[in-house]
Structures are given as structure tokens and as C-alpha cells.
Amino acid sequence: MSERAVFSMRAGRGTLRALEEEARRYRVAPRTLAETILEEGLRMRRHPGIVFVDRAGGRAAVLAGHPRLNVWLIALTARGGRSNARTARQLSIDVPSLERALAYAGEYPEDVEAAIQANEEAFERMKRLYPPALKPARRPRRAAAPR
């Protein structure tokens, strides 16, 4: 856990009211939400093209314009040893977008590795709980043509 410090700032009443409303919606303290917003905002400024979205497991860094394409998934796919051009084609994105995601992953490797690990654990849990769901579907037999 990183070292924490107290930081004081002024904000408009409307901004504070909006912060309190959002904090109630997310069921967190306003100071907790403010810290999250500040952290994500700084990350997005440092890495244009990366945005954060809500997921069932919490907030996730994704590629702007591709909200279903998590940065951790891009980083994991890029580990396959293929060229950036080939990896970008596989993911249906352009090379600069791939490079933006990889730059983010390079600066925040702990977050990316934690997301990869969480995904692997969820997959293993699913395999244990629902083994038939992971077996390939059998193709139905074709009915004989009527004579």
C-alpha cells in the first residue's frame, strides 16, 4: 500500500454536491470517491486514450472507443510474442492504440498483473463449479433428407 498524506483543496459547492451524490450512489465516503477520481484522472492525463469503466469486479482501465477491451487483456495478448501490428490486428485495433495500452500497462504493472490473476482465478472457479459449460458443444446430427 502506498504512503498516504493529507491534501486539502477548495472546490465549488456544485462540485462538492455532485461528489456527495456520486459517493452515495457508489456507497462510499466522498473522500474515498474523490481519491479514486483524482487517481484515475491523473492516469488518464498521463495516458491519453485510456479511460476507466465500471465492471462487475470494480473499475477497469480500458481503451477509449473500445470499452470492452480491458488494458490487462491487451497486455496479456501482446505477451504472445507476435509483432505489435499482428497483435493489433488480432484485437481489431490500430497499432497506436495498442501502444497506448501497453504504455499504461508498463507504468502500472501491478494493477495489470492483479487483473490478469483475478481473471485466471475466476476462470478456474468457473471450471470447478460448471465443468459442462466449458466442454465444446456437440454438433447436432443432420436430419436425413426427406425422400
DSSP labels, 76-111: HHHTTS--HHHHHHHHTS-HHHHHHHHHHHHH-HHH
Instruction: Dump pLDDT digits (tens) for 101-133.
Output: 999 999 999 999 999 999 999 889 988 888 777
Res 58: pLDDT = 86
Query: Cα 110 to chain center, whole Å?
Result: 13
Whether the full predicted model's pTM is greater than 0.85, yes or no, is no
Q: How far is CA 69 from the centre of its chain?
A: 7
**Residue numbers of the chain with a pLDDT score lower than 50:** none
Q: Given this model, what pLDDT does residue 11 score?
A: 93
